[in-house]
């Protein structure tokens, strides 16, 4: 008895699979038809597939690269066509594949393409003819050694054909639509493969995949369900939707995956109509029709949706107009499933579909990023092509993971940028990231900002990004409402766009990469001259502007915390002059923590709404400080000894410039605008007069 592993030296499996699937096929039979279509479908589903580019064989042994590819694959698909057995390469591949199945648990899926399993099993029909030719060639061989080797090979081939025919496979024939058959194969591969290269981009998504798969296969036939996947750009919405679509699309009568909807609408004036055409053709499968306007297409689409059980993914929806044009308002056929990916959490519930008489269930999935372990795993896959950091790169890897805050796209881009770079390059790269964001990451973050409809919301976002991340929502609203910003609706809109979140402690939370994007928007107002920007949040830049007295009237907010600066850079900078602040005569938001200010406070901006002076050495607030419009005063951790809610009404600016400093009891007035006073941890405080 000849064993399958005989004549196969070094047949052990590769320890690190490279491919998800190896495609074994007879080129002359199926390359330009079925196999090419199957190959492209596997790639579209994110399944890494090996396909040999050469059709001609020379009678030589199996090429080393083919042998290596088989050993480096998790699964093999064998397309058994009429002339498969006439190829010695195909037969050698088959023997090695079955060896991998036995020794390395490789998944093997035979496809009987216009052949009967019985013909393969018993080597009859075209398979019998092919084996007879191989036997005749063996008998014609005059070299005894070669004849003996060929006889052993023929025995191996016959055993392999019998074994593969006994495996559970898939039968293609003229009665089946090829597209449906290929979808079935792709679905089967997805289900049988473990998490692999096809899922490397979806690290940390396993629970989402299980949840959405359960939702898609819940068997509900009386209702139509819609699920919205929400998150910031690059968080994995499209990848997740594409994966579950590849997994389950074959289970529905009609299906369609429409990608990059908002981008395509922006790229072309006719973009939405082209998308409608694609959707209509996908779900109707009728002769393509050409309509002149969006309304006609919407009517045709909704007529199909009410009659067919469909599975549709609408990726990157950005407006109600897009959603209503693609789904209409007549309703969905029971059992249909719609997945919508968007950066706007409020869109789906507002669409016209929910005004129809048909009941639709709606659920929402929010993607918030990966945990630290998953982030490190993803970074390492792209940077080192392994699951762990390279020796000597551990600290730098952890720093990048912290910087990315679980954002998959950022981890992928940075990992790819640093692949094969030495550690000094990594360290310099990280220093650059601290000063300016990665352009591609920043572009992904900015899409949500660009979709904001109102200037009010954009200004609110920039204020929060620069000064109020981590601050109580109510306090922030109090401050910014006084700055003529509508915060109640504005913050709701920012939450809907996934630009901010509110924690359980009511504090504003913003992803670090989103915050960097917001600050970069302000930075671009004047990249090289920070004193010309509307907001100064970088402590080093704020200190420099104040030291050099370069403040301008266009500055609305400034933050400086001496504790956040390198002590070496602070030499000779512990004291600043009030004049440097007075130059910013439109300042509304001012944070000067642990700052020593000398001089007259009388020319500070009358527009101040928020004054925060943690750790101030002042024992009393200067009487000349204009506080008539102040709504929040925070003197926590300061040396202040007493505070009086009535204050000396400052002289008008003209009198201040002329040197009028006196005041009388008649000038005393209450701080009527002040709503929040914080004197926490002021150990010297003795009295507060209200």
CATH number at residue 77: 3.40.50.10140
User: Once rounded to an integer, what is the mean pLDDT over residues 285-303?
Assistant: 83
Q: What backbone torsions phi and psi does residue 501 show, to the nearest 5 degrees?
A: -135, 160
d(CA 237, CA 230): 7
User: Domain boundary at 154, 187, 220, which?
Assistant: 187
d(CA 466, CA 74): 49
d(CA 295, CA 290): 12
d(CA 438, CA 457): 24
Q: What backbone torsions phi and psi does residue 287 show, to the nearest 5 degrees?
A: -60, 130
User: Using alpha carbons only, how large is the chain's radius of gyration in Å?
Assistant: 34
689 lies in the same domain as 669 = yes
339 lies in the same domain as 317 = yes
What is the per-residue pLDDT for 668?
55
Q: Is 108 helix (H, G, I), strand (E, B) or coil?
A: strand
How far separated are the first and last CA of the chain, in Å rounded? 103
313, β-bridge pairs: 257, 339
Tokens at 649, concatenated: 């009404």
What is the per-residue pLDDT for 491?
98
Q: Please work out, in degrees rounded to the nearest 5, the angle formed at the alpha carbon of residue 207 by the alpha carbons of 202 and 209.
A: 60
353 lies in the same domain as 219 = yes
What is the per-residue pLDDT for 28?
80
24 lies in the same domain as 165 = yes
User: Once rounded to an integer, what is the mean pLDDT over residues 577-587?
Assistant: 95
User: Between helices 178-192 and 36-44, what is the axis angle to 10°?
Assistant: 50
Biggest distance spanned by C-alpha atoms of the chain: 125
Residue 662 has pLDDT above 50, yes or no: no
Tokens at 241, concatenated: 């939707």
Contacts of 581 (CB under 8 A, 6+ apart): 546, 551, 558, 587, 590, 592, 597, 604
Residue 333 or residue 43, greater confidence: 333
Q: What's the mean per-residue pLDDT of the chain? A: 88
283 lies in the same domain as 303 = yes
What is the per-residue pLDDT for 357?
73
381 lies in the same domain as 360 = no
Q: Is the distance from CB of 507 to CB of 473 less than 8 angstroms? A: yes
Side-chain-side CA neighbours of 596 within 13 Å: the count stands at 5
Residue 239 has pLDDT above 50, yes or no: yes
d(CA 557, CA 564): 18
Q: Is residue 650 part of a domain?
A: yes
User: Once rounded to an integer, what is the mean pLDDT over residues 669-688?
Assistant: 90
Active site residue 606: no
d(CA 538, CA 560): 7
Give the domain CATH number at 597. Answer: 3.80.10
Q: What backbone torsions phi and psi does residue 481 show, to the nearest 5 degrees?
A: -60, -35
Give the domain CATH number at 223. Answer: 3.40.50.300
The pLDDT confidence band at residue 300, using thresholds 50, 70 and 90, is very high
What is the per-residue pLDDT for 17?
62
The pLDDT confidence band at residue 22, using thresholds 50, 70 and 90, is very high
- 58-62, 179-183, 287-291, 677-681: lowest mean pLDDT where? 58-62
The pLDDT confidence band at residue 683, using thresholds 50, 70 and 90, is very high
Q: Is residue 527 part of a domain?
A: no
Residue 57 has pLDDT above 60, yes or no: no
Residue 502 has pLDDT above 50, yes or no: yes
Chain CA centroid to CA 257, Å: 18
Chain CA centroid to CA 183, Å: 26
Query: β-strand 508-509 against 501-502: which pairing, if any?
Result: antiparallel
The pLDDT confidence band at residue 645, using thresholds 50, 70 and 90, is confident
Q: State the sign of the Cα–Cα–Cα–Cα dihedral 253, 258, 259, 261.
A: negative
99, β-bridge pairs: none
What is the per-residue pLDDT for 430?
96
Residue 573 has pLDDT above 80, yes or no: no
The pLDDT confidence band at residue 522, using thresholds 50, 70 and 90, is very high
The residue segments making up the domain with residue 607 are 543-690
Q: Is residue 474 part of a domain?
A: no
Q: Is residue 640 part of a domain?
A: yes
pLDDT tens digits for range 302-318: 999 999 999 999 999 99
Q: Is residue 514 part of a domain?
A: no
Chain CA centroid to CA 251, Å: 27
What size, in residues, is the chain?
Answer: 690
What is the per-residue pLDDT for 75?
92
Q: Is residue 538 part of a domain?
A: no
d(CA 401, CA 381): 13
- 154-163, 398-407, 436-445, 644-653: lowest mean pLDDT where? 644-653
Residue 41 has pLDDT above 90, yes or no: no
User: Once rounded to an integer, what is the mean pLDDT over residues 606-610?
Assistant: 97
Q: State the sign of the Cα–Cα–Cα–Cα dihedral 626, 627, 633, 638.
A: positive
Tokens at 264, concatenated: 């395509």
Q: State the sign of the Cα–Cα–Cα–Cα dihedral 11, 12, 16, 21.
A: positive
Q: Is residue 143 part of a domain?
A: yes
d(CA 496, CA 417): 32
Burial string for 141-162 (b: 16+ CB within 10 Å, else e) reads eeeeeeeeebbebbbbbbbbbe
Distances (CA, A) of 30 to 20, 460, 559: 21, 60, 68
For the chain, what is the domain count? 4
d(CA 145, CA 331): 74
156 lies in the same domain as 277 = no
420 lies in the same domain as 274 = no
407 lies in the same domain as 307 = no
Q: What backbone torsions phi and psi does residue 520 show, to the nearest 5 degrees?
A: -65, -30
What is the per-residue pLDDT for 386?
84
User: Domain boundary at 435, 461, 481, which?
Assistant: 435
d(CA 73, CA 60): 23
What is the per-residue pLDDT for 652?
52
User: Once rounded to an integer, what is the mean pLDDT over residues 12-41?
Assistant: 78
H or E element at residue 280: helix 271-284
Residue 666 has pLDDT above 60, yes or no: no
396 lies in the same domain as 359 = no
Residue 315 or residue 209, greater confidence: 315
pLDDT tens digits for range 2-20: 333 333 434 444 445 667 8
User: Domain boundary at 331, 366, 401, which?
Assistant: 366
Contacts of 224 (CB under 8 A, 6+ apart): 331, 332, 333, 334, 335, 336, 337, 338, 358, 360, 361
169 lies in the same domain as 245 = no
Query: Is 202 exposed, middle or buried (CB count within 10 Å of its CB: 0-12, 13-18, 19+)?
Result: buried
Residue 574 has pLDDT above 70, yes or no: no
Q: What backbone torsions phi and psi does residue 667 show, to the nearest 5 degrees?
A: -80, -10
Query: Is 656 exposed, middle or buried (CB count within 10 Å of its CB: 0-12, 13-18, 19+)?
Result: middle
What is the per-residue pLDDT for 641?
95
Chain CA centroid to CA 317, Å: 15
Task: List, as one string, the DSSP characters of 324-358.
Answer: HHHH-SS---TT-EEEEEES-TTTGGGSGGGGSSS
Q: Is the distance from CB of 11 to CB of 96 less than 8 angstroms? A: yes
Contacts of 677 (CB under 8 A, 6+ apart): 633, 643, 688
Annotated catalytic residue within 54, 65, 93, 516: 93
183 lies in the same domain as 205 = no
pLDDT tens digits for range 168-202: 899 887 777 888 899 889 888 877 775 444 444 57
Q: What backbone torsions phi and psi does residue 275 show, to the nearest 5 degrees?
A: -65, -45
Q: Is residue 537 part of a domain?
A: no
């Amino acid at each position: 008895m000849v064993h399958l592993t005989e004549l196969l030296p070094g047949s052990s499996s590769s320890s690190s699979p490279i491919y998800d699937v190896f495609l074994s096929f007879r080129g002359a039979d199926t390359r330009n038809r079925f196999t090419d279509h199957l190959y492209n479908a596997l790639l579209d589903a994110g399944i890494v597939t090996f396909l040999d580019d050469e059709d001609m064989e020379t009678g030589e042994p199996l090429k080393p690269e083919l042998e290596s590819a088989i050993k480096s694959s998790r699964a093999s698909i064998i397309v058994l066509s009429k002339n498969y057995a006439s190829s010695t390469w195909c037969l050698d591949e088959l023997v090695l594949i079955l060896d991998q199945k036995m020794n390395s648990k490789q998944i093997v899926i035979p496809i009987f393409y216009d052949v009967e399993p019985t013909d393969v099993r018993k080597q009859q029909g075209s398979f019998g003819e092919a084996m007879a030719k191989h036997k005749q060639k063996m008998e014609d061989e005059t070299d005894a050694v070669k004849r003996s080797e060929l006889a052993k090979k023929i025995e191996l081939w016959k055993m392999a054909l019998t074994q593969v025919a006994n495996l559970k496979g898939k039968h293609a024939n003229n009665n089946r639509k090829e597209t449906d058959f290929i979808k079935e194969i792709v679905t089967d591969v997805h289900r049988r493969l473990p998490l692999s290269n096809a899922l490397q981009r979806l690290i940390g998504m396993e629970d989402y995949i299980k949840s959405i798969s359960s939702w898609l296969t819940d068997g509900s036939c009386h209702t139509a369900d819609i699920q919205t996947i929400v998150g910031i750009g690059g968080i994995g919405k499209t990848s997740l939707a594409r994966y579950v679509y590849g997994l389950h699309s074959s289970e529905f009568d009609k299906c369609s995956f429409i990608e990059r909807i908002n981008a395509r609408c922006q790229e072309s004036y006719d973009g939405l109509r082209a998308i409608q055409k694609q959707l209509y053709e996908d779900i109707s499968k009728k002769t393509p029709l050409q309509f002149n306007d969006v309304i006609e297409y919407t009517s045709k689409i909704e007529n199909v949706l009410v009659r067919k059980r469909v599975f549709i993914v609408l990726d990157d929806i950005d407006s109600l107009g897009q959603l209503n044009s693609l789904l209409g308002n007549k309703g969905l056929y029971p059992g249909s499933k719609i997945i919508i990916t968007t950066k706007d959490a409020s869109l789906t519930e507002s669409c016209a579909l929910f005004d129809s008489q048909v009941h639709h269930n709606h659920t929402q999935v929010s993607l918030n990023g990966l945990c630290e372990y998953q982030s490190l795993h993803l970074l390492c896959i792209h940077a080192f092509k392994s699951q762990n950091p390279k020796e000597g790169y551990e600290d730098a890897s952890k720093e990048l993971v912290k910087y990315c805050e679980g954002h998959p796209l950022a981890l992928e881009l940075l990992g790819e940028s640093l692949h094969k770079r030495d550690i000094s390059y990594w360290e310099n790269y990280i220093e650059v990231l601290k000063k300016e964001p990665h352009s591609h990451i920043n572009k992904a973050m900015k899409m949500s900002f660009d979709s904001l409809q109102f200037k009010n919301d954009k200004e609110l976002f920039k204020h929060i990004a620069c000064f109020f991340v981590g601050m109580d929502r109510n306090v922030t609203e109090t401050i910014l409402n006084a700055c003529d910003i509508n915060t109640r609706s504005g913050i709701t809109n920012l939450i809907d766009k996934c630009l901010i979140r509110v924690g359980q402690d009511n504090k504003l939370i913003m992803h670090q990469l989103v915050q960097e994007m917001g600050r970069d928007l302000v930075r671009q107002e004047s990249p090289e001259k920070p004193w010309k920007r509307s907001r100064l949040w970088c402590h080093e830049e704020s200190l420099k502007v104040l030291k050099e007295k370069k403040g301008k009237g266009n500055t609305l907010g400034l933050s400086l915390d001496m504790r956040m600066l390198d002590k070496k850079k602070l030499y000779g900078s512990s004291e600043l002059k009030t004049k440097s602040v007075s130059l910013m005569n439109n300042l509304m938001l001012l944070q000067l923590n642990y700052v020593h200010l000398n001089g007259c406070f009388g020319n500070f901006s009358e527009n101040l709404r928020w004054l925060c002076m943690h750790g101030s050495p002042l024992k009393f607030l200067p009487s000349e400080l204009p506080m008539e419009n102040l709504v929040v005063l925070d003197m926590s951790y300061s040396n202040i000894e007493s505070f009086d809610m009535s204050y000396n009404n400052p002289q008008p600016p003209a009198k201040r410039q002329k040197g009028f400093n006196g005041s009388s009891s008649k000038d005393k007035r209450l701080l009527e605008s002040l709503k929040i006073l914080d004197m926490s941890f002021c150990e010297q405080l003795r009295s507060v007069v209200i």
